Amino acid sequence: MVFYFTGTGNSLYIAKQIEAEPISIPQIINKDNLEFSAESIGIVAPIYGHEVPPMVKEFMRKARFHTDYFYMILTYGNRHGGAAELAKELCDECHIPVNYINVILMVDNWLPAFDMDEQRKIDKKIDENLDVILKDINANRNMIAEVTDADRDAHRQFLAYAAQGPADAWQHLLYVTDECTGCGICQRVCPSASVRVIDGKAVHIPGNCQTCPACAHACPQKAIKLTVPEKNPNARFRNEHISLNEIIKANCTDRN
């Protein structure tokens, strides 16, 4: 049993290599019964600011997992900042005995810092690293990925930087330009119903935004922009192995 959260397809791609029909966290998080039993249970998710998205944290706090082997695979694009250690702390907080946590380097979709065209050219040895991870979890290996002092320092620097702005700064990162045609794709790829088409135009609604940013990457008109400068405003990303319809199926819910 594998649960996942995805914005642009990286984590969905990894989850599908583990299990043919992984379970989308946005699709089930509001169900009444979040109790699961299986021989092994895994969570695949990206890291934002070195930690899993707020929705994944919420899911882990609400759910009950009955398994002999619990694992997490965390996708990241540049530096993981000790993500495995932070995820272990989250598991401890949620009283989830965790056997295995690993990280895997993939394309970074963070538009303020990375040019998507350039990211695609970098060989991050995804398949090689994924093969190691798959062998580990198939063998029920017990391991938490190594975290260095440099990783911890990177996370401390990030927290210090974030503390300089308003507490809800990440909720106001996106805006919609007049290029919007009201096609509704942004609304259907948003995992938290934070984008809605109102009177023929998309509107970003702060409050529960996960800062994926799936909406900006999926907009065919590139009408969803960031309130901070982008590395390459003309470049967008979706994992090459994942279709737009798969992102929609993962994230479009009754709330959208």
Going residue by residue through the chain, which has 256 residues, state the pLDDT in tens, using 9 for 90 and above.
Answer: 999 999 999 999 999 999 999 999 999 999 999 999 999 999 999 999 999 999 999 999 999 999 999 999 999 999 999 999 999 999 999 999 999 999 999 999 999 999 999 999 999 999 999 999 999 999 999 999 999 999 999 999 999 989 998 989 999 999 999 999 999 999 999 999 999 999 999 999 999 999 999 999 999 999 999 999 999 999 999 999 999 999 999 999 876 7
For the CA atoms of 140, 241, 53, 223, the dihedral, rounded to the nearest 10 degrees, stands at 180
Domains of the chain: 2-160 (3.40.50.360), 169-251 (3.30.70.20)
**pLDDT for 21-47, tens place per residue?**
999 999 999 999 999 999 999 999 999
- Per-residue pLDDT at 126: 96
Q: How open is the CA angle 226-90-174, to the nearest 5 degrees?
A: 10
Q: Which of 40, 11, 37, 39 is nearest to 24 (CA)?
A: 11
Instruction: Give how far the C-alpha of residue 189 lies from the chain's centroid of Cα atoms, to the nearest Å.
Output: 13
Preceding omega of 213 cis (within 30 degrees of 0): yes
Is residue 174 within a helix (H) or strand (E), and if so which, with residue range?
A: strand 174-176
- Per-residue pLDDT at 254: 74
What global pTM score does this model have? 0.95
Sort residue 182 into left (φ over 0), alpha (ψ -120 to 50) or beta.
Answer: left
Q: Which of 154, 227, 151, 223 is nearest to 183 (CA)?
A: 223
Q: Cα separation of 224 and 194, whole Å?
A: 13
- Per-residue pLDDT at 116: 93
What lies within 8 Å, CB to CB, of 240 at 6+ separation is none
What lies within 8 Å, CB to CB, of 12 at 6+ separation is 4, 6, 22, 44, 239, 242, 246, 247, 250
Q: Cα separation of 53 and 4, whole Å?
A: 11
